[in-house]
Structure 1
Amino acid sequence: MGNWQQSFFGFRRENGRVGVRNHVLILPVDDISNAAVEMVGHNIKGTLAIPHSYGRLQFGADLELFFHTIIGTGRNPNVAAVVVIGIEPGWTQRVVDG
């Protein structure tokens, strides 16, 4: 057998998780913010805009699932940083605080 050395080409995050990508996401909290997110993503090289059609007119368990999903997207170990854009300060802060 050869003298193989194990290696991993990835990124170790502060929380100990590892990722193989190093994305910078531009993430809208609501669908009204999609245009701003897309413009930022278009004008800043290397960013990834993630527009979606959710956030408004959701209530109860549906709204909680939305927050869980959008926060989880930003917490993915393949994501290095997230710029969060939203029209409602409380919701935007909730996503930022994760």
Structure 2
Amino acid sequence: MKITREDIQKEGAEFFLRDHRQKTGSEYKLILLPKAIEILSRYDYNLNIITDQKANYYLKIVAAKVGIKIPLTMHCLRHIKFSFLLKFKHLQIFAA
């Protein structure tokens, strides 16, 4: 998905990202926080959004360069982050 300036709309004091779902074609609207607008402006609304497959490819390259032997993927990293936070009591309320 490539975000363009035309996708960002302002309603009152809030900014929204409007687009259509690929599978159903139905429209959706996301509220953008001021920090998101700031980041989009800084990069002239040109964010290079990569797929999970491409991110996994880059992770494998980094892992090989630093000597990590286990296979890294975006999926396993999400689980690692959650368990890391649980260990440090940030999310222990969810574990109860």
Common fold: TM-score over 0.5: no
TM-score for both structures, normalised by structure 2: 0.19
Which one has more relative contact order, counting CA pairs under 8 Å at least 6 apart? Answer: 1
Task: Mark the structure with the bigger radius of gyration.
Answer: 2
Instruction: Tell me the TM-score normalized by structure 1.
Output: 0.19
